[in-house]
């Protein structure tokens, strides 16, 4: 984090992995109360850092990497950081990344991937803006920049290039890849949550059942001693043993019901999830 904090305006300097920031919804574009737009929110100083310039530096560093797999990882990280941003600079840079990914997916060499890329990577200043855009009153003119982008896009469309003919399709597929990755990650996290909950509840029920068996053994021993005249007691002890056996039977059947989650929470009856795992209680309260 490069934010200046304190009376001395010293740099925060808090270090964080961008991938960790994405998983924690503290980096990239996040809606809701956080409201990030291609930014990083520092947990230490509560400041925000724009990420467009950082992704630009990542792309420049990426050009010196010799591994296609590593290049793809860096490009996908850039997509995750910029995807969904409303900033013009982020959108232009994201298009450059999608274009490089489309070349990589077609099996082009690293030299071919970066060939002619100097014009497509947008120069970004420290505040996330493009210094080459026309400016009004010291700030980029959005209307002029959009007109320029439209003119450039029209010019590219008229140029006979097979790469640009498939560019739109490749961008669409790259967006779908990113969306599928997010869906699978969310699904994985949900399954891990279900597994941890099932593990906790099943073992708790098993331990409860074991304690009931121990109580039953103790009560049976006392009952046998009473029958031998070695212990005083009443007929209530016999009833207690009988009730304990019934309780064990019910708890064992409950454990068998709980084991139906082996099919997955989505295929387990709502009654079992509600009664044994506490799921769906909020819906009932809402009704």
> What's the structural domain count of the chain?
2
Domain extent, residue 74, equals: 4-132
How confident is the model at residue 232, as a pLDDT? 56
Identify the band that residue 209 occupies on the pLDDT scale cut at 50, 70 and 90.
very high
Q: Which residue has the higher pLDDT, 63 or 177?
A: 63
Q: What is the mean pLDDT of residues 100-112?
A: 82
Q: Which candidate, 132, 129, 175, 174, places its Cα nearest to that of 152?
A: 132
d(Cα 44, Cα 129) in Å, to the nearest integer? 26
d(Cα 74, Cα 80) in Å, to the nearest integer? 10
Identify the band that residue 248 occupies on the pLDDT scale cut at 50, 70 and 90.
very high
Out of 105, 132, 159, a domain closes at: 132
How confident is the model at residue 234, as a pLDDT? 57
Out of 132, 163, 185, a domain closes at: 132
d(Cα 114, Cα 66) in Å, to the nearest integer? 12
Q: Is residue 270 part of a domain?
A: yes
Residue 209 shares a structural domain with residue 112? no
Q: Which residue has the higher pLDDT, 126 or 57?
A: 57
d(Cα 92, Cα 124) in Å, to the nearest integer? 11
Q: Is residue 87 part of a domain?
A: yes
How confident is the model at residue 280, as a pLDDT? 62
Burial of 63 (0-12, 13-18, 19+ CB in 10 A): middle
How confident is the model at residue 203, as a pLDDT? 92
With 90 as the cut, is the pLDDT of residue 2 above it?
A: no
Q: How many residues does the chain have?
A: 287
Q: Is residue 61 part of a domain?
A: yes
Q: At what angle do helices 88-105 and 68-82 cross, to 10 degrees?
A: 150
Identify the band that residue 32 occupies on the pLDDT scale cut at 50, 70 and 90.
low
Out of 132, 158, 175, a domain closes at: 132
With 80 as the cut, is the pLDDT of residue 28 above it?
A: yes
Locus of tokens 């450059």: 96
């Amino acid at each position: 984090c490069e934010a200046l904090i304190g009376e001395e305006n010293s740099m925060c300097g808090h270090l964080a992995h961008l991938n960790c920031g994405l998983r924690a919804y503290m980096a990239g574009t996040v809606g809701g109360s956080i409201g990030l737009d291609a930014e990083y929110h520092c947990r230490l100083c509560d400041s925000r850092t724009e990420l467009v310039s950082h992704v630009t530096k990542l792309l420049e560093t990426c050009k010196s990497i010799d591994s296609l797999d590593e290049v793809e990882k860096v490009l996908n990280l850039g997509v995750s950081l910029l995807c969904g941003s409303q900033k013009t600079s982020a959108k232009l840079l994201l298009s450059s990344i999608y274009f490089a990914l489309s070349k990589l997916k077609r099996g082009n060499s690293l030299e071919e991937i970066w060939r002619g890329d100097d014009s497509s990577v947008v120069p970004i200043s420290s505040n996330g803006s493009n210094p080459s855009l026309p400016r009004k009153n010291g700030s980029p003119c959005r209307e002029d920049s959009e007109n320029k982008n439209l003119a450039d896009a029209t010019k590219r469309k008229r140029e006979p290039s097979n790469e640009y003919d498939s560019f739109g399709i490749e961008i669409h597929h790259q967006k779908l890849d990113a969306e599928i990755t997010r869906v699978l990650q969310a699904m994985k996290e949900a399954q891990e949550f279900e597994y941890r909950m099932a593990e906790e509840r099943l073992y708790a029920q098993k331990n409860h059942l074991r304690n009931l068996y121990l109580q039953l053994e103790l009560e049976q021993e006392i009952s046998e001693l009473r029958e031998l005249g070695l212990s005083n007691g009443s007929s209530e002890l016999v009833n207690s043993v009988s009730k304990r056996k019934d309780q064990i039977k019910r708890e064992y059947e409950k454990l068998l019901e709980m084991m139906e989650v082996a099919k997955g929470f989505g295929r387990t009856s709502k009654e079992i999830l509600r009664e044994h795992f506490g799921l769906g209680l909020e819906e009932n309260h809402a009704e």
